[in-house]
Amino acid sequence: MSTHVTTQNLARADVADDAPAPTERRTGSRGWALAGIGAGICGIGTIVFSGMVDAIYDPALVGDPAGITAKLATQTGAMYAFHTFTTVGAVLLVVFAAGLHRRLRAALPDSAIPTVALGGLLGTAVVSIMGSGLDTEFMMGVTEPDLVQDANAAMFNHWIGTIPWLWTLAGLAGLALWATFRRGGVPRWIGIVGLVLGGLTVLLGVSPAQYMAGMTGPLWLLVTAIGFTVGDRAHRA
């Protein structure tokens, strides 16, 4: 019977086995914040081009569905722009929502605040997609004789003049940032912007002047996303 003994010899006897592993330096990405800037710009574009499709609000066309359809046929350029800004903005808003949730979760790991912010922004993205849901049906149909009923064309104008303006839930994300600031999780001015513009967006949204939330919500988003892009250096370090 033979016995085999295996030994291990270190190439350097003076190197300790428990030497610390090299550390990895991580720098927070700003891609999600840049997406928020894009979403804010698109949100403003949504409101501008939605307002340019105004046949239903023309006093000279009250009670004239056929005249409304005829005027809508001359505003298809604004409709296409509205559709593009609204849908692209919704996609970018989802990216921003995910990044903001991660950012707030890093500051408040055991709080419901990051989830409130995420839910508010995702809800707003869904509302935007729903607001653009009838676009193809009508912006192409109103230029074809008898393809779209006049009463339906008028309803479409009401739809894009109201639904995409409902940024109420985005205001919750602004208030979530204020709550995060109160716990030391974000810079002071970002929290204040969240309180003022986010709070105003929620108040307008729950009031009979709900469509005015479309004026303050995109502005809050744009200012906040710029803040996270060019500021927030302490967190990224």
Q: Which of 51, 53, 43, 47 is nearest to 156 (CA)?
A: 53
CB 112 within 8 A of CB 48: no
Task: Report residue 47 as tokens.
Answer: 């409101």
Task: Report residue 45 as tokens.
Answer: 């574009």
Q: What is the mean pLDDT of the chain?
A: 88
**In angstroms, what is the C-alpha Rg of the chain?**
26
> For 154-192, how does the pLDDT look when each residue is reduced to its tens digit (9 = 90+)?
999 999 999 999 999 999 999 999 999 999 999 999 999
Ramachandran class of 232: left when φ > 0, alpha when ψ lies in -120 to 50, beta otherwise: left
> How many Å apart are CA 94 and CA 100, to the nearest integer?
10
Q: b or e along 187-208 (b: 16 or more beta carbons within 10 Å of the residue's beta carbon)?
A: beebbebbbebbbbbbebbeee
As a whole number, mean pLDDT of residues 78-94 equals 98
Other Cβ atoms within 10 Å of 20 Cβ, number: 6
Domain range list for the chain = 31-231
Report the range of poorest mean pLDDT among 14-23, 118-127, 131-140.
14-23
pLDDT of residue 232: 67
- Beta-carbon contacts of 154 under 8 Å, excluding residues fewer than 6 positions away, are 55, 56, 65, 68, 69
Vertex 60 angle, CA 59 and 61, to 5°: 90
Place of tokens 């891609």: 31
| Higher per-residue pLDDT: 197 or 22 | 197
Task: Report residue 26 as tokens.
Answer: 């991580």
